[in-house]
Amino acid sequence: MKTLQILMSTYNGAKYIREQMDSLLDQNCEKLGKAAFRIVIRDDGSSDGTQDILEEYAGRYPEKVFWYQGENHGVIRSFFELLQRVDTSDYYAFCDQDDYWMEDKMTRAVEIIDAMRKDVPVLYCCRPKLVDQNLQPLESEIKRPPMRPGFRNAMIENIVTGCTAVFDQSLREMVVKELPQFTVMHDWWLYLIATCFGEIYYDETPYICYRQHQGNVLGTKTRKMDEWKMRLKRFRRNRGNISHQLEEFIRIFGDMGAENENMRLAERFLKVRKSFWARKRFLRDTELYRQRREDDRIFHIILLLGNY
């Protein structure tokens, strides 16, 4: 049977982690013969007793649950370190500490990946189901269109919710080839690699309950005004991050993508920062896009101003 490793980074997650662990252990992919799985956890310096819970589960499920203590590096470095340290497997899945997985989440992901190309890195992700702290569905006034994955989107926007990401050994090898000195988020880095060099499948059917609560480091808003406030805050904080991330991407993978149309597009995107007229021509000639029309308009302004 093929093998799967579920990679979780924890930090002060004692409040919800038992529900998440139970949902992981209830995954039916092994029962159905799709993939034998184990859960590998790196604790990022918790101080609320999370380690005691992890030790309890490791004792109860010694063949399934493995964890180790790490220094406090933050979520991005924590997940990258997990990818570096784990054994070779057929599939890898990122996992947050406070969500709840439906029992067929991994079965669905494995089936999709097995139907994708075998000669390129592949990435699966799905739309998360928004729930409150008690796992009750949240109503949202924000319309979210069907996703259209692609490198022309990945350069300027991330649509991969990390806790839904499942990928193959080929993609893992590309990630750990050389870790970026900067990336906005670890899941965005996977999205860039998969769309530039391989394939991605975005599943519109939710297979996780994505818990929204005050302790979220990142989250999804359900009210339009809250979302706009969040976007404005992120824009002010992240100005220049798109370019910085692409510079790292080209530095690491530029030699691999010498004949790659996507890589040439990324290089041109960085070059036009120096000239308003070059940016205007670039905007006219290329098809960069964000998933929502209003976001497209906003980014066109950002691009013309050179603030990316």
Q: Which pLDDT tens digit goes with each residue over 33-46?
A: 999 999 999 999 99
Band of pLDDT at residue 229, cut at 50, 70 and 90:
low
The tokens describing 4, both together, are 């799967």
Band of pLDDT at residue 285, cut at 50, 70 and 90:
confident
Beta-bridge mates of residue 6: 39, 93
Phi, psi of 41 (to 5 degrees): -125, 135
pLDDT at 226: 66
Beta-bridge mates of residue 168: 91
Return the sign of the alpha-carbon dihedral for residues 287, 291, 292, 298.
negative
pLDDT at 303: 85
Longest CA span, the chain? 63
Superfamily of domain 3-211: Spore Coat Polysaccharide Biosynthesis Protein SpsA; Chain A (3.90.550.10)
Band of pLDDT at residue 22, cut at 50, 70 and 90:
very high
> Region 75-80: what's the mean pLDDT?
98
Per mean pLDDT, which range of 108-112, 116-120, 222-226, 290-294 is the poorest?
A: 222-226
- What share of the chain has pLDDT > 70, as a percent? 91
Residue ranges per structural domain of the chain: 3-211, 224-305
Integer Cα distance of 79 and 154 in angstroms: 20
